[in-house]
């Protein structure tokens, strides 16, 4: 009986390990992340922020950033798209956003979409879509939030996608962010100094 349990454990354990976003799960230490990335060590950026090299990647994303606390482990993961050349209307950014939103929705269901522009913005006309995004007058995002009715899998409190851009050259990015359930306890510990 013990042999059967061990066989089942070792058969399904790798599936469980790689079931989380990009094969990385809540609470992983830097050593755990290195192991999940087949020996590619996280590259320190600053504070809790590390550039990581997951084995389980998606072709729409070029960069992966992990936020790892010394005690709580991995608490946030961001995937950033490659540069998206775009026109003034942000058509290419919006198309890439829609594609990623559709794919993530297959896993987490229907998100809450946020497409807002500040009431006092100078960039209200559609031909200034990118300018509004660059200046922070436009928010273009969607979010999947964990709730009592809709508990997100993989120990996630929320998943979000948002667009970012710059003017020269006129390019944009799509950022996919996974916030794990331990994020609040990390924030609370950091705020304890105040």
Can you point out the beta strands (E) in the chain? 43-46, 49-51, 61-69, 73-81, 84-85, 112-117, 138-145, 156-166, 171-180
Count CA atoms within 13 Å of residue 109 on its CB side.
Answer: 11
Question: What 8-state DSSP symbol labels residue 110?
Answer: P
The Cα–Cα gap between 53 and 186 comes to 23
Contact 154, 148 (CB under 8 A): no
Reply yes or no on whether the pLDDT at 68 is more than 50: yes
Contact 141, 161 (CB under 8 A): yes
- Segment 133-192, tens digit of pLDDT: 999 999 999 999 999 888 999 999 999 999 999 999 999 999 999 999 999 999 999 898
Amino acid 136: pLDDT: 96
Reply yes or no on whether the pLDDT at 7 is more than 50: no
Amino acid 155: pLDDT: 96
Q: Quick one: average pLDDT of 22-39?
A: 97
Q: Quick one: average pLDDT of 12-23?
A: 58
Q: What is the DSSP pairing of strand 171-180 with strand 73-81?
A: antiparallel
- Segment 85-128, tens digit of pLDDT: 999 999 999 999 999 999 999 999 999 999 999 999 999 999 99
pLDDT band for 13, please (50, 70, 90 cuts). Answer: very low
Q: Quick one: average pLDDT of 10-26?
A: 62
pLDDT band for 193, please (50, 70, 90 cuts). Answer: confident
């Amino acid at each position: 009986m013990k042999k059967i349990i061990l066989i089942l454990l070792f058969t399904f354990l790798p599936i469980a390990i790689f079931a989380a976003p990009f094969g990385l799960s809540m609470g992983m230490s830097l050593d755990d992340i290195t192991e999940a990335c087949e020996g590619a060590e996280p590259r320190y950026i600053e504070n809790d922020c590390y550039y990581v090299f997951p084995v389980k990647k998606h072709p729409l994303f070029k960069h992966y950033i992990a936020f790892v606390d010394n005690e709580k482990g991995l608490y946030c993961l961001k995937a950033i798209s490659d540069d998206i050349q775009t026109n003034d209307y942000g058509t290419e950014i919006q198309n890439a956003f829609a594609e990623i939103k559709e794919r993530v929705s297959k896993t987490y269901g229907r998100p809450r979409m946020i497409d807002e522009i500040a009431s006092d913005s100078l960039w209200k006309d559609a031909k200034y879509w990118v300018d509004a995004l660059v200046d922070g007058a436009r928010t273009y995002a969607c979010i999947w939030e964990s709730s009592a009715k809709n508990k997100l899998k993989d120990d996630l409190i929320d998943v979000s996608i948002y667009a970012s851009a710059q003017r020269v050259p006129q390019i944009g990015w799509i950022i996919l962010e996974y916030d794990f359930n331990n994020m609040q306890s990390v924030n609370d510990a950091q705020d304890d100094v105040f």
